[in-house]
A and B are shown apart, each in its own frame.
Chain A
Amino acid sequence: MTDAVGLSETSRKNRLGSLGAYLLLVLAAGIMLLPMFWMVSTAFKLFSDTFRIPPMWIPPYLSLANFKRVFTVVPFGPMMFNSVKVATLGSLGQVISCTLGGYAVARMRFVGRQPLFLIILATMMVPYQVVMIPIFIIMKNLGWVNSHNALIVPAFLGGAFGIFLMRQFFLTLPNELEDAARIDGANPMQVFLYVILPLARPALTALAALSFTAFWNDLLTPLIYLSKMELMTMPVGISFFKGLHSTEWNLLMAAALLNITPAAVIFLLTQRQLISGIALSSGIKG
């Protein structure tokens, strides 16, 4: 009857719409990927082949020379190590402090909980540049200019994003678990360590991965504190490298690729948690 006709027409329209959506996605994916492909391709090219017009899409050889040279032109090995150190310890600090803080804000009762939570949220609106100079003064007085401490220690002192993310997650857990443990005589730290933390693994993974990439990619903070080559993290090192070898694109792309790869691997491994973490941090779901 008319209903059947109507339905088949809608479903045909639907299928057309889906096809359109699919084409849009493929096109967009191509645009997203082309530059990335170009980075990889250039990283393996000889210097002379970077100037070719029409461009050489895929070099007919596999030259690792650029990657080797990156390590000899600047202390790239130490820079990589510095990045690993700062990002690992930094994300550890964020996980410890923000998990504790987020749990307290989500689950514990204390005087001034609501105002404190709102103040923490409001600090997200404060541009880092406003607090950057006073923090620099503190670090200078501690003798931490040209020290990784200036990057790592603040990570152990919480942060609005991490606290909020963890709070949102803890709010999704049922109360009964803690009540049961408490009746059995566990203190809040025991409840936290043995009941809550094992359940919080997805959120912990998301926070760890998000803060690892944030520290791994950060430019401004290391730029302010680190002026010695051998202390620099990769982003600062690479940006100086650009100043020295501004037209050697094959070399620059090799360095950029070396910088992106670890972050990409971590993303691929933790993707599911990381994406639901981002969604959770919007505070809209959950």
Chain B
Amino acid sequence: MAGLAELGRAKLRWGRPRRGMPFRRMPRHLVIENLWAFGFLALSLIGLVILTLGPILVSFYLSFTDWDALGAPNLVGLRNFIALAHDKTFFRALWNTIYYTLVSVPAGMIISLALAMALNRSLRGIGLFRTLFMIPVISSTVATALLWGLMLDPYIGLVNYLLQLAHLPTSGWLTDTRMAMPAIILMSVWKGLGYNMVLFLAGLQGIPQELREAARIDGANVWNEFVHITLPMLSPTTFFVLVISIISSFQVFDQTWVLTKGGPQESTITLVYYVYQTGFQQLRMGYASAIAYVLFFITLIVVMLQWVTQRRWVFYQ
């Protein structure tokens, strides 16, 4: 998940006329250079075609079939998509995925930015804190989800115990239809903080110190400095973190697979979980492809929207 800033900037070069020569007139040394380059790229090109571009087309085709993983696929026109429009579980999964994204992305970004700013400021122990925050990031979601299953256990979990100590209301968490998704969000935010923090920290350290000093001499207070210097200067990082957070939160799966299997009463079923369930448990591969394409389509729309709006708030130096 990277290079989004690059992609945004690269657009400019797209339109410029290319200086490359037509093939016929290409001198021998350039031919040799091309051959070398494609040799270096051979593995990646095979992967691009076989593992990405080809499959994108194939699953587009499959989404219009009734393929069941065993027989031959039959074209059924728009039947899968019409069925989706009447599928309550699909809308449940869609809403849950959106809910998860709408809460976990802003929460994760705000907290990790606050931590990065704190870390950027009190340089003492920066390494130690960074290590601590990164441990959940490099741990598997399966292991950390299990851990949170224990933390959130209604009877023996530490979370309810601590809430009780503080005389706050406790909850059934993963067993409660209303609290299961917030519980999964809590776990996911906890797990992902360190990654975003590392990115924000790199962005913050790239802001020239002179800018802050100049602002301070001009009498800017902490808030002014944050709004007029830190946020604009950090906006490429923020944009990058926002895009990768949204893309990855649309694909949330591991947590619900380990903790709730989509339950209770489909309250934590997500789009990817539903793709897995219909495709690999019920072997309705055609239908699963249709759901996956909806996911793809939503991802594309959201990323494009961010692209279009970035001009208003992202400042590249």
Contacts and interface: CB of A to CB of B under 8 A. Distances in A.
A80 to B, nearest CB: 13
B138 interface: yes
Interface stretch (A70-78, A173-181, A197-205, A251-259): A251-259
Interface of B is mostly: helix
Given A110-B34, A119-B48, A285-B202, A101 B6 contact: no
B108 interface: no
Interface in B1-25: 1-7, 10, 13-14, 20, 23
Contact of A275 (B198, B206, B280): B198
A137 interface: yes
Interface in A163-192: 163-165, 168, 187-189, 192
B131 A268 contact: yes
Nearest to B133: A32
Contacts of B41: 100-101, 104-105, 110, 116
Interface stretch (B81-89, B118-126, B176-184): B118-126
Nearest to A249: B150
B44 A98 contact: yes
Contacts of A67: none
Interface string A237-250: 01100100000010
Contacts of A164: 2-3, 6
Given A133-B62, A220-B276, A283 B4 contact: yes
Contacts of A58: none
Q: Which of A98, A119, A125 has the most CB of B within 10 A?
A: A125
Nearest to B58: A134
A65 interface: no
Contacts of A101: 40-41, 43-44
Contacts of B118: 20-22, 24-25
A1 interface: no
Interface string B191-230: 0011100110111001000000000100000100000000
B282 to A, nearest CB: 13
A219 B254 contact: yes
Interface string A194-229: 000000000000000000010011011001100000
A133 B53 CA distance: 13
**Secondary structure of the A contact surface, majority rule:** helix
A62 interface: no
B313 interface: no
A53 interface: yes
Nearest to A20: B118
Contacts of A239: 142, 257-258
A121 B3 contact: yes
A243 to B, nearest CB: 9
B248 to A, nearest CB: 10
Of the candidates A120, A125, A127, the one having the most CB atoms from chain B within 10 angstroms of its own CB is: A127
Interface in B130-147: 130-136, 138-144, 146-147
B148 A55 contact: no
Contact of A284 (B236, B247, B276, B280): B236
B140 A235 contact: yes
A31 B136 CA distance: 12
A259 B129 CA distance: 23
A256 B119 contact: no
B40 A108 contact: yes
Nearest to B10: A118
Interface string A105-124: 10011110110111111111
A43 B111 CA distance: 30
B50 interface: yes
B292 interface: yes
Interface string B266-305: 0000011001100110000100110011011001100100
Contacts of A129: 251, 271-272, 275-276, 292, 295
A135 interface: yes
Contacts of B52: 123, 126, 131
B55 A279 contact: no
Given A164-B2, A256-B147, A279-B199, A158 B44 contact: yes
B166 interface: no
22 contacts: A21-B121, A22-B118, A25-B115, A25-B122, A32-B193, A36-B136, A51-B155, A122-B7, A124-B2, A128-B251, A129-B251, A129-B292, A131-B55, A137-B58, A188-B40, A219-B140, A224-B276, A224-B280, A235-B143, A239-B257, A264-B135, A264-B138
Given A242-B258, A263-B140, 5 more contacts: A24-B114, A33-B132, A135-B51, A267-B138, A275-B134
